[in-house]
Amino acid sequence: MFHIMSNKKYILGNWKMNKVEVDIESFFSTFNGLVENIPENIVVGIAPTFVGLLHATKNASPRAMIMAQNCSAKTNGAYTSQVSYQALLDIGINMILLGHSEVRQYLHETDEIINEKVNTLLNNDMKPVLCIGETLEQFEQEKTNEILKNQLEKDLLNIDKSKLSNLIIAYEPIWAIGTGKTATNEIIEKTFMFLKQTLIQLLGDESKNIALLYGGSANEKNAKDILSIKNVDGVLVGGASLDPNKFIQIIKSC
């Protein structure tokens, strides 16, 4: 029913607040040798903290794309503590996580702010990875579809449809992030079908160019099953991406 324009698979790691300089060097000294023979259709990305970005870009194999965990919606101006897309682009970063549940919760970023960031990145030919997801309470109240549709409507408002091949959406049920819980294959399949249908309603056939990823306690043990589910184009990995051997197992499960 739904046609994917590419056979790409995305394996993206989010390091959150982990890894200082010596850890980054140690990680890549092992990881670079493991990732060299990975097929080109597998896109490997790693998102360290801001302070680790430059060191990561200097140590990572060209086979691993270094990503940022957030950016400002503003391109320049008096915004102390903010990091613009241009500053990230200057050090070779063009893929950026936006709207992660922890950013929404702890930094109080609204859908309107996230939408501004999505548009800024797409309009400047960068690659936003938009994170969406529901809380445990919302899941138990069977509001998952309602919450996801509301986030998509607001986060993707007024975006340029010609740029959709640069957009990635990561569904991360908040109740499964860092908890060890993972949505069942049935839940993931039903949710991703709903996401596909909703994106077509919002953006038309051009939405087939959007890659959909699953996040939420994805690891070396469950990644193969998750990646085999219809409409899942990759995974956004948390804790398991900190170990180069575990992360390469996830990548090879493609």
Q: Catalytic site residues?
A: 100, 172
Cα dist. 252→17, 59, 190, 239 in Å? Answer: 26, 22, 25, 17
The answer to whether 254 touches 9, Cβ cutoff 8 Å, is yes
Chain-centre distance of CA 78, in angstroms? 28
d(CA 107, CA 102): 7
In degrees and rounded to multiples of 5, residue 96 shows phi and psi of -140, 130
d(CA 226, CA 210): 18
d(CA 199, CA 2): 11
Q: Which residues contact 201 (CB under 8 A, 6 or more apart)?
A: none
d(CA 194, CA 225): 19
3-state secondary structure of 156: coil
Lookup: tokens for 250: 């996830």
In degrees and rounded to multiples of 5, residue 222 shows phi and psi of -110, -5
Q: How many residues does the chain have?
A: 254
